[in-house]
Amino acid sequence: MKKQLLLLTALGTVLSHSLSAMAQQPESLKARPNIIFILTDDHRADHVGFMGNDVVQTPNLDQLASEATVFDNAYVNSAICTPSRACYMLGQYERKHGINFNSGTSMSREAWEQSYPYILRDSGYFTGYIGKNHLPIGEKGYYTGFMDRTFDYWYAGHHHIGFYPKEKHAIFDNAAQDTQTEVLAEGIQAFLDPDSNEAFMKNAVSFLQTRPDGKPFCLSIALNLPHGSSTGTMQMRETDDELYRTGYRELQDSMPLPPHYTPKQAIQEPKLPADVLLTQLRQDNYTWVDTPETVRERTIRTYEAITGIDRMIGQLRATLEKQGLADNTILIFSSDHGLFFGEHGLGGKSLCYEVTLKVPFLIYDPRLPQGERLNNLVMSIDVAPTILSMAGVDIPDSMQGADITPLLRGEKVNWRDAAFGENLWSNIFGNPRCETVRTAEYRYIRYFKNDNLQNRLNTKPQDLYIVPEYMAEDYRVHLTSTIKGEAVVYEELFHTAKDPYEAVNLANDPAYADVLKALRAKCSELVAEAKGDVDAPPSTIRIDSHWTSTNYRSQQL
């Protein structure tokens, strides 16, 4: 099977650059670098080869990792698509930007003007966006059209684009291929080498501009894979690439299950108390975690998608080489968050565990030392200021993240000792609000009263995406309620250095009382830091109810 998949990906594999070749290009080191940021969807840290997974085949990413700086402790602030993507774009914690999925919130235009793509375009960069946009902006959210117009090259669909994007969004109609990664690869190829696909550019809409020679560019590639809205719609059509029809299928009955996997019927003691999370609901839309058979099927589809992404990255690097861009192009790779595959009987995301918050993360800069691995606690909010720093652009005061470039250069810096995560999204889906601190040795999580459990039991599935006014107001209140003294209802403490799968809760163990006390204080400190001015309004506006209860109703989480 491994040999078969390697053959399927070999076309995209790229050989590493040699240091001697770099030394022959001193002028390129002085030029403003090109930057490509690749963001996958629901892609947990352990679902890639360079993070230790020996089943999923990612030869191009593994090769890239061997030339890059890999961060072994990278975390997102929020394990939900929309707030996490806002964190990446703005360099802010959710507590400050105040944007979440299905919460009636939309980013203001003024806030978007402080994002890294907008600032780079203002600073002379040619900017492109390809793939999935899950970030509403303006009074009508995704339907405002404001974000589209702020890029020079826009080849993306708002919210989910599915495994077959042409069936979701007209913007992809001119693609020759049908499957998501291959459709996006065409857009990437046309961006980097417009002469190679004249028909594509000719048929494209007006805001798909041709990249000018000699101008630095920043390309953001946001996939909707391996997200379940895409892997769940894979149909193994005859026209699909062989990878998506036969890849990993010989492991149908033997695909390894994740550590501490618990099928639904075997749950004896739920991971969380019933007044925090209704385990029987398994976070709706994730019933595939209920049995080993369905988990294995979804794992196969997930690995097929990840191998497809890997092949796309290999093709991208080959094009950079062909165009003479490789020696001056920085590549950044990460994910918006992870996903449960039935660990501890859990499904979905949003919760504040290692599985959901830890992501793969690497930065490849051909001008810097290669093959480094760092243990520093880095976060999604660090990406935007780092990109601006690499481009030689001033970092605005609005960004809360740290510039990673000193770490890349091997400098001794005073770095954070804890990463902060949170889930503020508690509506009729029934998810609990929680806050977490992750240090080098421990994870501490605290939960707050979940007022939506009964509402969830009384809500029909087709109504889950409606956002009543009271729910939008609740979200705004939750941005500051814990800072103002809201009571904690449940706590967890894990010694992650010894218990990486967070199986044993030590919160009530007297031997860890001092650790618990210290992390409680650290969590309160980071919550206040994340919010900033407690009286300052978030960077959001309320979406008109028509654009939530009507047009958003058919979305999938």
Residues 404 and 452 in one domain: no
Q: What is the pLDDT of residues 211-232, one digit of tens each?
A: 888 899 999 999 999 998 899 9
Backbone phi, psi, residue 313, to 5°: -65, -40
Residues 461 and 394 in one domain: no
CATH number at residue 345: 3.40.720.10
Q: What is the pLDDT of residues 34-62, one digit of tens each?
A: 999 999 999 999 999 999 999 999 999 99
Region 242-269: what's the mean pLDDT?
94
Judge whether 557 lies within some domain.
no
Residues 66 and 193 in one domain: yes
Q: What is the pLDDT of residue 126?
A: 96
Q: How far apart are CA 165 and CA 463, in angstroms?
A: 25
Geometric angle at alpha carbon 291, from 287 and 296, rounded to 5° = 100
Backbone phi, psi, residue 493, to 5°: -140, 125
Residues 472 and 383 in one domain: no
Label residue 362 by pLDDT band (50, 70, 90): very high
Q: Among 187-201, 334-348, 395-409, where is mean pLDDT lowest?
A: 187-201
Judge whether 14 lies within some domain.
yes
Q: What is the pLDDT of residue 537?
A: 66
Region 79-107: what's the mean pLDDT?
89
Average pLDDT, the chain: 87
Total number of domains constituting the chain: 2
pTM of the predicted protein model: 0.91
Find, among 349, 242, 278, the residue nearest to 270 by Cα: 278
Residues 398 and 542 in one domain: no
Q: What is the pLDDT of residue 17?
A: 39
Domain span including residue 318 = 2-410
Label residue 18 by pLDDT band (50, 70, 90): very low
Residues 396 and 450 in one domain: no
Q: What is the pLDDT of residue 16?
A: 39
Residues 117 and 235 in one domain: yes
Domain boundary among 388, 410, 432: 410
Residues 450 and 348 in one domain: no
Residue 129 has pLDDT above 90, yes or no: yes
Residues 345 and 451 in one domain: no
Domain boundary among 384, 410, 436: 410
Residue 414 has pLDDT above 90, yes or no: yes
Residues 333 and 204 in one domain: yes
Farthest-apart Cα atoms in the chain, separation: 69
Q: Among 9-13, 149-153, 417-421, where is mean pLDDT lowest?
A: 9-13
Label residue 461 by pLDDT band (50, 70, 90): low
Residues 71 and 137 in one domain: yes
Label residue 550 by pLDDT band (50, 70, 90): very low
Q: What is the pLDDT of residue 306?
A: 98
Other beta carbons within 10 Å of 266: 8
Q: What is the pLDDT of residue 27?
A: 47
Domain boundary among 375, 410, 445: 410
Residues 25 and 126 in one domain: yes
Judge whether 52 lies within some domain.
yes
Residue 348 has pLDDT above 80, yes or no: yes
Q: What percent of the chain has pLDDT over 70?
A: 84
**Which token pair is 387?**
């990109």
